[in-house]
Amino acid sequence: MAESITRRTLIGGSLTGAGMMAAPSKRLGNIKMGIYSITYLGYWYRGDALTIEQVADRAKMYGYEGIEIEGKRPHGFPLDWPRRRCQEFKKYVAGKGLTISGVAADNDFSSPITEHREAQLALVHDLIRMTSELDAKVLRIYLVWSGATKLPEGGGRYDIAQKIWDYTQEKFTDTQRWEWCRDCFIEAARWAGEYGVTLALQNHKPIITNYNLMLKMIKEVNSPHFKACLDAPLLENKEADYVRKAVFDTGSLQVQSHFGGDFERESRDKPIQLIGARGQWGGEYVRTGPMKENFYLPFCQALYETGYNGFISYELCHPLHKVNGQVVGLDYAHNSTQLAAEFMRNTLAQARKAAATKLGV
């Protein structure tokens, strides 16, 4: 966000009290893996979207335990999900032994245009209703989601929508944007409480430039129905000590999380590697090779130590590389989703063992 708010927030370190400053739990958490359906929305690879039922089928096939529904077409736009549709999908998912871990809103409460904020409030209200009727409990939300553009030749990009957002914000201050979002969240949190739903604010740019700003907003909204979705890939610093501190500062506010990226394995006898990349917000997407450290390991260990009981869901939601001049296709999404499941299963096993040792349980 704005440099002024960032500077004000970070004086003296993290926001004491905003994230409960969790001490290690005496009981290990229980982390489950899910698929966030944006992975198969048909935006980033070349090819069509899967139906939401097909996403559930893939979740079962690859050993995930749940599915998080993207809150827009063709998966989870709430006008397409009356009560009967929610009941039918609940039965479908339960029949596969899976859980609906949550719904994800692509909302933007930062617009200087009143009608736009009101339209976004209407969207979030209906997503809260849909989340409740699915018994999903958690609705992931943003301060800002500028949007994404699906390209006719396949794949997608973020930078076109981001330029539009930048233009509309030129004449407005950091404080104005913050207050618009906070006012909308207060209203949405009240609805969430009426429906038995928890809103999970993600540490996602552009306004939230560090996790302390996520905690600051949660503190200001001051609702038991407004909590956190802290994601490791979005942390501004991936060093182990910082990652652990972010988890402990968030503490019991954490109700949802995600993991993502590109994965590859050179051969069957070698472990899966997390691949770094650059240029994902627009232009050419370039993979830069294996990352030296698995920052998910300290993140998940800290989740276990704080007693987190919830999902960490895989998302493939960035522009992808090209092969022979074309964006990779649906097969790449399948392969990545399968490799991600194995990668995170191994990471969780290591993290749980390390947490158990640390806690002596």
Instruction: Give the chain's mean pLDDT.
Output: 91
User: CA-to-CA distance for 8 and 315, rounded, in angstroms?
Assistant: 32
User: CA-to-CA distance for 186 and 61, rounded, in angstroms?
Assistant: 40
Mean pLDDT of 100-121: 98
Residue 31 lies in a domain: yes
| Angle of CA points 218, 220, 226, to nearest 5° | 35
Q: Tokens at residue 185, please?
A: 């969240």
What local confidence, expressed as pLDDT, does residue 321 receive? 87
Of 104-113, 188-197, 281-290, the poorest mean pLDDT is in 281-290
Contacts of 304 (CB under 8 A, 6+ apart): 28, 29, 31, 351, 352, 355, 356
Residue 297 lies in a domain: yes
**Closest CA relative to residue 6, chosen from 254, 174, 145:** 174
Is pLDDT above 60 for 12?
no
Say how many domains are in the chain.
1
Q: Rounded to 10 degrees, what is the CA torsion of 136, 140, 141, 144?
A: -140
Residue 18 lies in a domain: no
Q: What is the CATH number of the domain that holds 210?
A: 3.20.20.150
Residue ranges making up the domain that contains 224: 3-9+24-359
Of 101-105, 120-124, 260-264, 287-291, the poorest mean pLDDT is in 287-291
What local confidence, expressed as pLDDT, does residue 14 receive? 44
pLDDT-derived band of residue 276, with 50, 70 and 90 as boundaries? confident
Please tell me the pTM assigned to this model: 0.92
What local confidence, expressed as pLDDT, does residue 282 receive? 59
Residue 320 lies in a domain: yes
| Amino acid, single-letter form, for residue 198 | T
Mean pLDDT of 72-101: 98
Residue 17 lies in a domain: no
Is pLDDT above 60 for 183?
yes
Residue 16 lies in a domain: no
